[in-house]
Amino acid sequence: MFDLIKGLRTTAKYLFTKPVTISYPEVKRPVRERFRGKHELKRYADGKERCIGCSLCAAACPADAIYVEPAENNPQNPVGYGERYAAKYEINMIRCIYCGYCEDACPTNAIVLEHQYELSFYDRKAAVFTKEILLQPVDKGWGEPPPILQNLNRPPNPPAQMEL
């Protein structure tokens, strides 16, 4: 009898404290700044894709979750800077362990693990995120491309002029 009251007292006490749970999905808890969620393929401020299709992310990936198929940029209507871009970029979100090695490996800061964590799928096929899903909208780009990329299409230097 006494034990029952003791238990109920604890219940009653918590009736009046602020709950530690939040009512997800109506309320979403903010994540830490370095949280590693769904990947995003970033763009430059001018809307060009950062990804150069070098596959280093795929090489770094310990879970073999990334598949990249490169292609040649059309000089008239380039997708990104330089000669090469990713024609296909797929991440298998079931395989991914969210370690962020791809981010480290990326030479152009194209792939970033962002804060989106609501990742659930009805079937395995849907878990393979394609480039369309991963790519950031055009207006969200940031930063200038590094000179090494800007200069890739530079015309040849004139030969040095020398007084003979």
Q: List contacts with another protein (CB under 8 A).
A: 52-56, 58-59, 68-72, 82-84, 107-108, 147-148, 151-157, 159-160
- To another protein, the closest distance from the beta carbon of 119 in angstroms equals 25
CB closer to another protein out of 61 and 93: 61
Q: What is the dihedral of CA 144, 146, 147, 151, to 10 degrees?
A: -90
As a whole number of angstroms, the distance between CA 9 and CA 2 comes to 11
As a whole number of angstroms, the distance between CA 96 and CA 84 comes to 25
CB closer to another protein out of 46 and 64: 64
- To another protein, the closest distance from the beta carbon of 164 in angstroms equals 12
Residue corresponding to tokens 């530079």? 154
- To another protein, the closest distance from the beta carbon of 105 in angstroms equals 10
DSSP-derived secondary structure letter, 125: G
CB closer to another protein out of 37 and 112: 112
- To another protein, the closest distance from the beta carbon of 34 in angstroms equals 25
Could you tell me how far CA 91 lies from the centroid of its own chain?
10
Ranges assigned E (strand) in 1-61 = 39-41
- To another protein, the closest distance from the beta carbon of 142 in angstroms equals 20
CB closer to another protein out of 37 and 103: 103
Edge-to-edge order in the sheet of strand 84-92: 66-72, 84-92, 128-129
CB closer to another protein out of 93 and 149: 149
User: Comparing C-alpha atoms, which of 111, 113, 115, 108 is closest to residue 98?
Assistant: 113
